[in-house]
């Protein structure tokens, strides 16, 4: 039997808990190897922002279904990389607020929301050459991904990094408020009925609590080379 030819461009799935630096790793990896970077959390956040903005009752799945049915969720180019857009409007600057962070996990529990976004994510990644980060990429969206990373970091490190990110944007959010949000989201994301956050059996676990950004990037590039990808 002939060996199946290696696809030229990999599908790379990066999953893990809230605030462990998935986006930082995924973005720098995509840049280094010239792949497309897709932040699936931004897609869930964009829908959440839209629902809050339009005062849709997020506990009513029927209402949510009607509201999101006509929505186009896309990515648009910007100077700082790809930004998520709703019906063509770049909404990146609205989606990282604490208000959106508080409602995004309940919204991401809804089947109607997951069905829409998972279909879109599969379409975007179907030809490979993509680094996608989220919670269910290696388990549900691309169970056959060429490389699956499950990223973790201890909770203190995750909270401290998130607080620093807010500070960089000029927002002061207390350590305790961030910790409460991260741990609550982790709980909802890991225990929900549909596509809960869990480590895929064939995922490589990287704990980056004590790794620099360069070290974790090099580890992942090494894993891709081991798998025969010319990166």
- Upper half-sphere CA count for residue 20 (Cβ side, 13 Å): 26
Footprint of ligand DC on 175-194 (CB under 6 A): 185, 189
**Does residue 21 touch ligand DC according to CB under 6 A?**
no
Q: How many residues bind ligand DC (CB under 6 A)?
A: 14
Nearest to 217 by CA among 41, 81, 31: 31
**Does residue 82 touch ligand DC according to CB under 6 A?**
no
**The binder of ligand DC chosen from 14, 18, 130, 151 (CB under 6 A):** 18
Q: Are 107 and 113 in contact (CB under 8 A)?
A: yes
Smallest separation, CB 7 to ligand DC (Å)? 22
**The binder of ligand DC chosen from 11, 33, 40, 152 (CB under 6 A):** 40
Using alpha carbons only, give the angle 145, 181, 14 rounded to the nearest 5 degrees.
10
**Does residue 44 touch ligand DC according to CB under 6 A?**
yes
Residues 6+ apart with CB under 8 A from 185: 18, 101, 104, 105
**Does residue 152 touch ligand DC according to CB under 6 A?**
no
Place of tokens 């990644």: 125
Of 68-76, 101-109, 155-163, 220-228, which part binds ligand DC (CB under 6 A)? Answer: 101-109
**Does residue 92 touch ligand DC according to CB under 6 A?**
no
Residues 6+ apart with CB under 8 A from 197: 15, 16, 17, 135, 136, 186, 189, 190
Smallest separation, CB 118 to ligand DC (Å)? 8
Residues engaged in binding ligand DC (CB under 6 A)? 18, 40-41, 44-45, 104-105, 108, 134-137, 185, 189
């Amino acid at each position: 039997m002939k060996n199946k030819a290696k696809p030229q461009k990999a599908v790379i799935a990066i999953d893990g808990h809230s605030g462990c630096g998935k986006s930082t790793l995924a973005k720098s990896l995509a840049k280094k190897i010239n792949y497309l970077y897709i932040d699936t959390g931004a897609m869930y956040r964009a829908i959440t922002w839209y629902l809050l903005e339009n005062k849709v009752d997020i506990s009513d799945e029927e209402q949510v279904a009607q509201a999101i049915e006509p929505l186009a969720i896309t990515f648009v180019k910007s100077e700082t990389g790809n930004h998520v857009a709703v019906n063509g409007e770049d909404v990146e600057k609205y989606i990282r607020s604490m208000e959106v962070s508080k409602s995004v996990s309940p919204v991401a529990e809804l089947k109607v929301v997951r069905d829409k976004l998972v279909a879109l994510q599969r379409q975007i990644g179907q030809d490979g050459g993509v680094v996608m980060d989220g919670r269910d990429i290696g388990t549900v969206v691309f169970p056959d991904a060429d490389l699956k990373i499950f990223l973790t970091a201890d909770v203190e490190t995750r909270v401290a990094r998130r607080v620093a990110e807010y500070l960089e944007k000029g927002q002061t959010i207390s350590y305790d408020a961030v910790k409460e949000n991260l741990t609550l989201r982790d709980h909802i994301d890991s225990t929900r009925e549909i596509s809960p956050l869990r480590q895929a059996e064939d995922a490589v676990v990287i704990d980056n609590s004590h790794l620099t950004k360069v070290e974790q990037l090099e580890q992942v590039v090494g894993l891709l080379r081991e798998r025969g990808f010319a990166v």
